Amino acid sequence: MAWTIEQIKEIHNKPLLELVLEAGSVLKKNKKFGEVQISSLLSVKTGGCPEDCGYCPQAARYHTGVDAHGLMKTEEVLNAARDAKENGASRFCMGAAWREVRDNKDFDRILDMVKEVNSLGMQVCCTLGMLTEPQAKKLKEAGLYAYNHNLDTSRENYSNIISTRTYDDRLNTISNVRKAGITVCSGGIIGMGESEADRISMLHTLANLDPQPESVPINALVAVKGTPMEDQPRIEIWDFIRMIAVTRIVLPNTEVRLSAGRNEMSVAEQALCFLAGANSIFAGEKLLTTPNPQFQSDMDMFKVLGLVPSVVEEVHTEPS
Ligand code: SAM
Ligand code: DTB
Ligand code: SF4
């Protein structure tokens, strides 16, 4: 069933607690309530990116003080993946500050990393920028489980945030990932000065992807000094909770991931996000370049709220 803008708008405009209650029941119907999937993130290639994404500390053109480094060694990445597994992460996500993947030695090394992390029995995810269909197929053959490629905002607002690529470039990569048989992780950022109509429009695009993305990260902008968005005020938590709830209702079977911005949220605020349908987080003290809650404080939060990390039954993706 296709969602219309009108339908999503109607859901979005419900009284907040009614909306949270409805989203919570959609979560309960479709997922194991109280189980939260944990992903761990590692920036395997940091900074120096040629793109101009207005939110991003890794764009070369902004002076953000990010410590740029080239592609990490496979062994270092594997050590981080083993640590993440010990801490209960079922998915390991490797991010690279690239505009697009090139067919070179660095890509061969990424393929090795994917193979090795997969053989640890973890779901492997990558976010490497734009991909062609043959590149997506190579990643699938190496055992990649998921590819993260965010739409970030609405089509209408896209050129206000990024000028070095188009919305259709983004959708095209998502389609290449799908064609290769890799699961899709795609979401966005709120708090960049977008309108409610932009948020609704982004969800409309995500909800009408066929099939829907298996995972949708909702990020609250981390306003990083040196980026064009450094002075954006922090998003109102109520707007964030509303966004999570609408996402859960229009993408009922998806993993809705409470992503960037958690470091600035209290346990009570995050609890409302879990009630509103979030069932996944990034854990570990760093996202890609910005701070995330300490692992132990997340475990304390799980204990207080009665949440448990979800165990993935089949974590080994058969390389094809
Ligand atoms: N270069 C690749 C790309 O753009 O797809 C992968 C890495 S990129 C850093 C991954 C995602 O991180 C972006 O799509 C964006 O949603 C998110 N992100 C980056 N900076 C952020 C910030 N300051 N606040 C919130 N989310 C951010
Ligand atoms: C996503 O949607 N959020 C994560 C992950 N996918 C790759 C990244 C958040 C990055 C926040 C800014 C930083 O740490 O550099
Ligand atoms: Fe580069 Fe990705 Fe950051 Fe955009 S979001 S500047 S593509 S690393």
Task: Work out how many domains the chain is built from and give that number.
Answer: 1
Give the separation between CA 239 and CA 246, rounded to whole angstroms. Answer: 11
In angstroms, the CA 90 to CA 92 distance is 7
Q: Which amino acid is at 268?
A: A
The CA distance from 166 to 158, in Å, is 7
d(CA 40, ligand 3 centre) in Å: 19
* pLDDT class of 313 with cuts at 50, 70, 90: low
What's the average model confidence in pLDDT over 56-66?
Answer: 96
Q: Is 143 in the pocket of ligand 2 (CB under 6 A)?
A: no
What are the distances in angstroms from CA 104 to CA 8, 78, 118, 149? 43, 21, 22, 21
Question: In testing the pocket of ligand 1, which one of 101, 125, 189, 240 has its CB within 8 Å of the most ligand atoms?
Answer: 189
Establish if 144 belongs to a structural domain: yes
Q: Find the 295 Cα to ligand 2 centroid distance in Å.
A: 17
Check residue 23 and give its pLDDT. Answer: 98
Domain for residue 320, yes or no?
A: no
Mutate which of 99, 126, 152, 221 for ligand 3 pocket (most atoms within 8 A of beta carbon)? 99
Tokens, residue 27: 């979560």
Examine residue 251 and state whether it is found in any structural domain, yes or no.
yes
Q: Find the mean pLDDT for residues 170-192.
A: 98
For 2, residues 6+ apart whose C-beta sits below 8 A from its C-beta are 208
pLDDT tens-place string over residues 17-35: 999 999 999 999 999 999 9
Q: Is 46 in the pocket of ligand 2 (CB under 6 A)?
A: no
HSE on the CB side for 41, CA within 13 Å? 27
Q: pLDDT digit string (tens) for 212-236?
A: 999 999 999 999 999 999 999 999 9
Query: Which amino acid appears at position 3 of this protein?
Result: W
Q: Which domain holds residue 254?
A: 42-305
Residue 142 pLDDT more than 60? yes
**CATH code at 223?**
3.20.20.70
Mean pLDDT, rounded, for 142-160: 98
Mean pLDDT of 159-177: 98
Distance between CA 42 and CA 176 in Å, rounded? 23
Verify whether ligand 2 is closer than 6 Å to residue 187 (CB atom): yes
Task: Please give the positions annotated as active site.
Answer: 49, 53, 56, 93, 125, 185, 257
Residue 9 pLDDT > 70: yes
- For ligand 2, say whether the CB of 292 is within 6 Å of any of its atoms: no
pLDDT for the residue 89: 87
In a domain, 20, yes or no: no
Structure confidence at residue 311 (pLDDT): 79
Atom of ligand 3 at shortest range from CA of 51: 6
The two tokens of residue 52 are 């101009």
Residue 127 in contact with ligand 1 by CB distance below 6 A = yes
Nearest-angstrom CA–CA distance, 207 and 210: 8
Q: Inform me whether the pLDDT recorded for 318 exceeds 70.
A: no
Is residue 34 assigned to a domain? no
- Whether 75 maps to a domain, the answer reads yes
Percent of the chain with pLDDT over 90: 94
- DSSP result, 202-230: HHHHHHTSSSPPSEEEEEEP---TTSTTT
Tell me the pLDDT tens digit for each residue of 232-283.
999 999 999 999 999 999 999 999 999 999 999 999 999 999 999 999 999 9
pLDDT at 1 over 90: no
Burial of 305 (0-12, 13-18, 19+ CB in 10 A): middle
The Å distance, Cα 97 to ligand 3 centre, comes to: 6
Regarding the beta carbon of 80 and ligand 1, being less than 6 Å apart is answered no
What mean pLDDT comes out for the span 95-112?
Answer: 98
Tell me which ligand sits closest to the C-alpha of residue 230: 1
pLDDT surpasses 80 at 319: no
